[in-house]
Structure 1
Amino acid sequence: MCRNIKTLFNFAPPATEEEIRAASLQFVRKLSGFNKPSQANEAAFAKAVDDVAAAARVLLESLSTTAQPRDREVEANKARERSRLRFSRG
């Protein structure tokens, strides 16, 4: 899966429309192999992003968990620390 697609479920505050759209765009880019589609494929590409965003929205709204929501800042700090450890090795 694309590294740029972030987990959107069970965070406080919940995922924004912008985050859902960005993840959908990355997913469609990965599937299609296009970073930016040609004019001939632009309409199909945009429709696919819209469709994936709609499906993601439905999914996120229908999921449930008993776990406490994760804090975005705490998770971001953990990711930065993992990255620091991973790339500081020489």
Structure 2
Amino acid sequence: MDQFASEILQRLEACEHELQTARGYIKALEGGLHAIIESHPAPAALASVWEGVLPDLFATHSNETGPFLSALREGVTLQSLSIRRPTPHHDAEV
């Protein structure tokens, strides 16, 4: 393998490492967020705050395109479903 190909391979491996590191970090944040959502004492208030945050979130990233925007939309959708879904814990308290 020539030096150019070797350098490209090293860069590719570094990018893969960074992506896997970021993925692990994001999964940890998702787990923590899920715990917060499930244990929040006022689900309706949480949903209201979340709805208020969304316009600013999308405005902040209005210039984004491609995979970032797709992932942002998917993440927001999943979190929105989780926030709006009543949990058995909260149903029992009502």
> TM range, normalised to the smaller chain?
0.3 to 0.5
TM-score by structure 1 length?
Answer: 0.33
Question: Which structure has the highest strand share of the two?
Answer: 1
TM-score by structure 2 length?
Answer: 0.33
